[in-house]
Amino acid sequence: MTIAVAVTASWYLTLAAALFSIGVAGVLIRRNALVMFMSIELMLNSVNLTFVAVGTELGLIEGHTAALFVMVVAAAEVTVGLAIIVAIFRKRSSADVDQLAELRG
């Protein structure tokens, strides 16, 4: 006998809150620039999940539109951010954020 559980918007919002919390913890705890970058992307994706879940629950297209714009901005950020991280990693063999403070000129 199986029990059917309806997945509502609150399930998606709970998942988004958990993903956002993991992303915040990754930014605050880890000192590696690449890990911090991935944590920021995780936070952006959790916000997208929130936009889509609320938009679907309310029957509005604005949530999906906002998620699309966040994805476009995230794609541009990935391009620029990864280029900067690769350039720093080539200059120094470490991507530690604490050592990047020495790059000030």
pLDDT in tens, the chain (105 residues): 778 888 889 999 999 999 999 999 999 998 888 888 899 999 999 999 999 999 999 999 999 999 999 999 999 988 998 888 888 888 777 767 777 666 555
Centroid of chain to Cα 59: 25
Instruction: Tell me how crowded residue 46 is: count the other CB atoms within 10 A of its CB.
Output: 21
Q: What is the pLDDT of residue 28?
A: 94
**pTM listed for this prediction:** 0.82
CATH of 33-103, one of 1.10.645.10, 1.10.10.10, 1.10.287.3510, 3.10.400.10: 1.10.287.3510
Domain ranges of the chain: 33-103
Q: What is the pLDDT of residue 96?
A: 75
